[in-house]
Amino acid sequence: MKTIVLKFVFALFAIGLVTSLQAQGPCFEGEDGRFYNLDGTPCTNTVVTAVPFLRIVSDARSGAMGDVGIGLSPDANAMHFNASKLVFAEEDLGLSATYTPWLRSLGLNDVYLAYLTGYYKLDDLQTLGFGLRYFSLGSIQFTDFNGEPLTTGRPNEFEITGAYARKLTDNFSAAISAKFIYSNLAAGQEVQGEVIEPGLAGAADISFTYEGPIKLENNNSLLRVGLALTNMGSKITYTNSVNRDFLPANIGLGAAWEIEMDQYNTITFALDINKLMVPTPCQGDNCDEDNDGRPDYKDQSSVGGIFSSFNDAPEGFNEELRELMFSAGIEYWYDKQFAVRAGYYNEHSQKGNRKFFTVGLGLKYQVFGLNFSYLIPTTNQRNPLDNTLRFSLMFDFGALDDE
């Protein structure tokens, strides 16, 4: 049998496969029947999924605003958050290319996320969008249990997405997206007698957007509200085992309020609330009541897992509320050419404890745009984007026609 060296563990940490497992230390059952960490706090019970790279926010604009994006003004990166708002885009054609270094603070230089998205407006009512997400885990040395080198691999994952968005009224739109997911973590290697193969899956997104003006005494303003259900699809496995893992299905509600203070100055306030539609891991000795060797929550279908995810937390409704993730951001534009951004992301300590501030800048000139973002952790927990500068390139070709 074969195993993988430490760098592969770092790579798994990079995409989140073991982050949750590391966070979930030993717990004990209290006299009240609930489970606690050794320090007396509620037992860490993070929701675990496969291919978590699908949830990584690569867009530097949103990355500078605490990862908000569902209700922000539409651009090509709406493909990740909410494709339905593409029909409200000002230009007929747009592209975005993003490069995100990953785990640079650990000294890894060959792990990165690349994201290419675009859209084309067929007319005033219909828009097509596409997205290609590629995650490279770098070069990894495989070894046997004795530490002897075997082969060198280059694990990678990618997602291909197509979307169709349509206005249903002047202020309301809907979209559906279809995606193909490929995940090659250690193809050809053998673990416990099973040969690892690339994981394949299909998924869909459904999203809605409302956009309308809000009357202010001296200023024009616009409110945009979005609802997005993403990554709903089949389960995924890397072997012939019947034990399959859930995709990171998610429901998100977001809003953004844009205020034109005058002809040169615009400010936007945005808020997103997200929740994974994935079963919460069970606790205690009753996790495998059918004695099939797997926790019962893993036996659910992908559709059943989506519905059960809203009422299956071991500690009830209070724990369900802890699974909500909050993003808040602010964006200031001067003359629609220079932007300053800031934001905050918060996740409950029992559910992953990701908390960080973000800042960034944006520049736009005619068809060309450039965005930067930087992440500042607010806890002792390491973040894969520590000390990393992200950037995105934007191209709005419709602006060239206007010129």
Taking only the tens place, the pLDDT of each residue in 54-84 is 999 989 999 999 999 999 999 999 999 999 9
The answer to whether 287 and 296 are in contact (CB under 8 A) is yes
Task: Please give the Cα distance from 225 to 256 (Å, whole number).
Answer: 7
Taking only the tens place, the pLDDT of each residue in 268-287 is 999 999 999 999 988 766 67
Of the listed ranges 108-112, 129-133, 346-350, the least confidently predicted one is 108-112
In 3-state terms, what secondary structure has residue 307?
helix
In 3-state terms, what secondary structure has residue 232?
strand
Residue with more model confidence, 180 or 352: 180
φ and ψ of 95, to 5 deg: -135, 155
Torsion 183-189-191-194 (CA) sign: positive
The answer to whether 345 and 356 are in contact (CB under 8 A) is yes
Task: Please give the Cα distance from 357 to 224 (Å, whole number).
Answer: 24
Helix ranges (H only) for 317-396 are: 317-322
Taking only the tens place, the pLDDT of each residue in 21-40 is 434 456 777 777 677 777 77
Check whether 363 has a pLDDT greater than 70.
yes
Question: What's the whole-number average pLDDT of the chain?
Answer: 86
The answer to whether 341 and 331 are in contact (CB under 8 A) is yes
Check whether 19 has a pLDDT greater than 70.
no
User: Which of 125, 107, 134 shows the shortest CA–CA distance to 169?
Assistant: 125
Taking only the tens place, the pLDDT of each residue in 146-172 is 666 777 788 999 999 999 999 999 999
Of the listed ranges 137-151, 214-228, 229-243, the least confidently predicted one is 137-151
Long-range contacts of 130-134 (CB under 8 A, 24+ apart): 130/79, 130/161, 130/162, 130/163, 131/79, 131/80, 131/159, 131/160, 131/161, 131/162, 131/163, 131/179, 132/158, 132/159, 132/160, 132/161, 133/53, 133/54, 133/58, 133/158, 133/159, 133/161, 134/158
Structural domains of the chain ordered from first start: 2-235+244-276+325-402 (2.40.160.40)
Q: What would the mean pLDDT of 232-248 be, rounded to a whole number?
A: 88
pLDDT value for 400 = 54
